[in-house]
Structure 1
Amino acid sequence: MRLPTLASTVERRLLVNYRVDPPAISRLLPAALRPQLVAGYAVAGICLIRLGNVRPTWAPKAVGLRSENAAHRIAVEWDGPDGIQTGVYIPRRDTGSRLNTWAGGRIFPGEHHIADFQVHETGKELHVSYTTRDDATRVEIAATVDDDLHDSRLFSNLEQVSAFFRRGSAGYSATKTGHHLDGMRLDTRRWQVTACQAQRATSTFFENPDRFPPGAATFDCALLMRDIPARWHSLPAMPVETDVSGSVPSDARM
């Protein structure tokens, strides 16, 4: 079923990016997907996004909703009818909005877990942390806005990293059933990215030794987008192949 297109303002989108050993990330992916590689690494991370004015495209801004949200993401590619497609696989979505936890997978694609967010933000500084109510995920990011990208081993400059993430506008999210992935595409006519320097970046998702052996997932860089008008289009669900037992890896449907 195609769900309605949503309009919104991306008030803040902080992308916290990790370079990851490909074998460690590959085992988290459904069979149809494979990691995109940059400089020999897989690319994964956390999207910490505050959305404002979220509403159906036909509705006025005055009825729009506002929420803090987060997604753990893996840059992936897959074979489509017209060749290789690129986007992100999202094993986990979290939100501070109870409405989003109810509406995700019903009114719009993407099932969410409820979380408690703490945010301190100025023009130059950002501190975002959250803990999910099921205590499965804890994240803390402290960063300052910078003029350029520094110390990244994945990308040589801001233009290169901006182009990479702009190509990943399609996102496919894990679902509870494990039989399909919910799909959504971000569409914006004004793509503007600035660099950040992270003083602290922690996530229990990437620091879980059962998921990533020590050194397999390392912080690489952070990016910031602010005040971007955006539309969110639902995509056809992507079937998930199961093994002979009829199950998919548990990490692939977190």
Structure 2
Amino acid sequence: MKNISVYGNLVDRYLFNFRADPVALEKHLPNVDWLKPRTINGYGVVSFCLLKLKGLTMWPLPSSLGLDTTSCAYRCAVIDESGKKPEPSVYVLGRNTDLSIISRLGPKLFSGNIEKIDASVERVLENVQINAKYSDGKDMFSATVDSLKCKNDSKLFESEESFEDFIKDGISSYTPSTKENMYSRVDLETDSNQYEQVSAKINVNCLDDEWEDAKLVFDSAYRAGGNQYKLRYLGSVPSCV
């Protein structure tokens, strides 16, 4: 199943970015010598990413046969030193979906667990309410995105263009594989979407307690949507490369 691709139309993608202490962040990354925190202006970067996709299916099947789904994940910006030269990448703590069928079939396609969660993106008056809960009902993440013009006071990204470059530089991602001592690699093959900064308030971030030593500070939020979003599975790599 290596090199299989899935794609869909991106209805919404929200990324909520947190500044982190890079030394503490490294302790939460896999114990491998080829993944290191990627720093921006001296900070590590941890993001909560939520994707709302329409017509998600395997390439090249038509999207009309696909599923409408909302997924989410915590992701850490890293440098991948496994190749000939270091490259920006992403370490994903674990993928989550609101559909049971994806939770069951996803690990067979991507060799990585995909947990079933409850996730929603709801418009309430002028705001967008985003919620994600674990299957046991525990809050994972919650944020309110408002319609006010966003003032850019980010210490990570000086502009929307710099954030978009940051996202599209790190096209590869690694997450724990279902195979022992291995990591599943999935690459962002197509993302033709543009990102806009939005004003947001974080209501719940479960990593505040779980990663207290990383001293997470909310930095900025961005949204994209409207165009194709495509991922390709490249197989699992060993912890020692």
TM-score by length of 1: 0.85
SS at match of 1:87: strand
| In 1: Cα distance, 2:88 partner to 2:138 partner | 28
**Gapped runs of 5+ residues in structure 2?**
none
8 Å contact kept, 2:111–2:178: no
Identical pairs, percent: 22
Distance 1:107 1:91, change over 3 A: same
Instruction: Name the counterpart of 1:112.
Output: 114
Write out the 4+ residue segments of structure 1 that deviate beyond 6 Å after TM superposition: none
SS at match of 1:104: helix
1:21 partner amino acid? D
Match of 1:89 among 88, 91, 110: 91
Instruction: Name the counterpart of 2:17.
Output: 17
8 Å contact kept, 1:178–1:240: no
Cα deviation, residue 163, structure 1 = 0.7
Cα deviation, residue 3, structure 1 = 4.6
Instruction: Name the counterpart of 1:77.
Output: 79
Distance 1:147 1:239, change over 3 A: farther
1:73 partner amino acid? R
| In 2: Cα distance, 1:160 partner to 1:6 partner | 27
- Per-residue deviation, residues 162-183 of structure 1 (Å, max 9, x unmatched): 1111111211112355511111
For 1:1-254, what aligned pairs fall within 5 Å after superposition?
A: 1-30=1-30, 31=32, 32-121=34-123, 125-134=127-136, 138-144=140-146, 150-176=152-178, 178-188=180-190, 190-204=192-206, 206-208=207-209, 210-213=210-213, 216-241=215-240
- Of Structure 1 and Structure 2, which has the larger fraction of its residues in helix? 2
Instruction: Name the counterpart of 1:244.
Output: none
8 Å contact kept, 2:144–2:200: yes
Cα deviation, residue 201, structure 1 = 4.4
Distance 1:85 1:123, change over 3 A: farther
2:16 partner amino acid? V
| In 2: Cα distance, 1:118 partner to 1:230 partner | 19
**Gapped runs of 5+ residues in structure 1?**
242-254
1:211 partner amino acid? W
SS at match of 2:193: coil
Cα deviation, residue 100, structure 1 = 1.5
| In 1: Cα distance, 2:149 partner to 2:170 partner | 23
8 Å contact kept, 2:177–2:183: yes
| In 2: Cα distance, 1:236 partner to 1:146 partner | 43
Residues paired across the two proteins, number: 238
